[in-house]
Amino acid sequence: MAVKIAFFNHKGGVSKTTTTFNVGWMLAEKGYKVILVDADPQCNLSGMILGYNEALELEDFYNNGTINNIRDGLKPAFESMPRLLEAVECTEVEGRPNLLLLPGHIKFAEYDVTLGISQELSGSIQALKNLPGSIAYLLDRTAERYSADYILIDMSPSLSSINQNLMMISNYFIVPTSPDFYSVMAIDSLTSIFKRWHAWSNKAQNVDILKSADYPFPNVLPKFMGSIIQKYRLRDSRASQGFQYWIDRINLTVKDKLITQLKDIDMMLPEEAYINNRLTENYCLGTIPDFNTLIARSQQHKTPVFALTNEQLGHRGVVGTSARENRDRFYNIFNQLTNNIIGMVEYAERY
């Protein structure tokens, strides 16, 4: 069974999409089969990977006769069609074997209200009983089709019913943040949101009518892997003082508030998992500085900054040397970050 990891923070612009792509790429490079799920109706991840900039091209992509995106995959359940959900046909990510995209769809947002109603009632209406478990079922069938090891889920910046579902059907979750006041606030509010969502999933798992659905609501409880702090400026190879202040505040808020709450609702791994991966100091999987000039090349080549080839970096002379050094530095950071994730999963699977 593929491991599902949700990248979630209801705040936007904290590098959820970028990090999902980068971590997925690194996992694939290490030989794992990875499916990136674009569950954000804004479709930023799909846009980044498919690179369609004309609405017409995208229209052709969606209407090519196959079930090739998340909305079409879920359609039979949400539009009461008398057939079972089938695996989605994923798109291969150019330049990175083993990495697949399950594309998003702007109209996926239209299912949010119905899903919300089905989740509120927790199965008391017969006609909606198949919805709460449908997304997990679709992801599982798709993972089976491709023998995937990892499913990374990129989510919208909201507290939508879709996000509530995705979070609670995952095995693990990671909270991307950026070093500023708003991220500290966001982590603070996540503590009460997770408590509410946990209470809901607990109920959903124990309602008889949902257990007997075509797509039963899965019996999982997502565990916190750690935070990621990203996009700060460097000074003499370290976070500048202003940014360091917010990095410390985030770490403190995660430790004092989030972790305390998550322990109460059993959404933490055993302490040894964090100790084993040397994460107990602040439960941060990685800190990532600003990509600066590399970001333009990365977007141009639809390739993570750390995976850009010398040709793609393109500069000669001193500028080229510094670009390559930067690229290599980011490689080490994402390599370590990804190793932390693998380490946590391996530890947890063993116990």
| β 91-92/99-102 pair status | antiparallel
22 binds Mg ion (CB under 5 A): no
CB of 46 to ligand ADP, least distance (A): 12
Residues in the chain: 351
Cβ neighbour number for residue 193 with a 10 Å cutoff: 17
Binding residues for ligand ADP (CB under 6 A): 12-18, 44, 157, 230-231, 288, 290-291, 295
Task: Give me the helices (H) in the chain, please.
Answer: 16-29, 44-50, 55-62, 70-78, 112-121, 134-146, 161-169, 181-206, 208-211, 241-253, 259-264, 271-276, 294-301, 310-313, 317-350
CB of 330 to ligand ADP, least distance (A): 8
Size of the site for Mg ion (CB under 5 A): 3
Q: Which is nearer to ligand ADP, 231 or 301 (CB)?
A: 231
15 is an interface residue for Mg ion by CB under 5 A:
no
Q: Decide which of ligand ADP, Mg ion, none touches 13; Cβ closer than 5 to 8 Å per partner kind.
A: ligand ADP
CB 225 within 8 A of CB 348: no
Q: Look at residue 161 and give the partner it binds from Mg ion, ligand ADP, none, a contact being a CB closer than 5 to 8 Å depending on partner kind.
A: none
Residues 9, 15, 17, 164: which binds Mg ion (CB under 5 A)?
17
Inter-residue contact 143 to 100 (CB < 8 Å)? no
Considering only 44, 68, 164, 251, the residue that binds Mg ion (CB under 5 A) is: 44
Residue written as token pair 């990203």? 230
Distance CA 137, CA 82 (A): 16
231 binds Mg ion (CB under 5 A): no
129 binds Mg ion (CB under 5 A): no
Q: Taking CB under 5 A as the rule, which mask of x and - marks residues 78-117 in contact with Mg ion?
A: ----------------------------------------
Q: Does 33 bind Mg ion (CB under 5 A)?
A: no
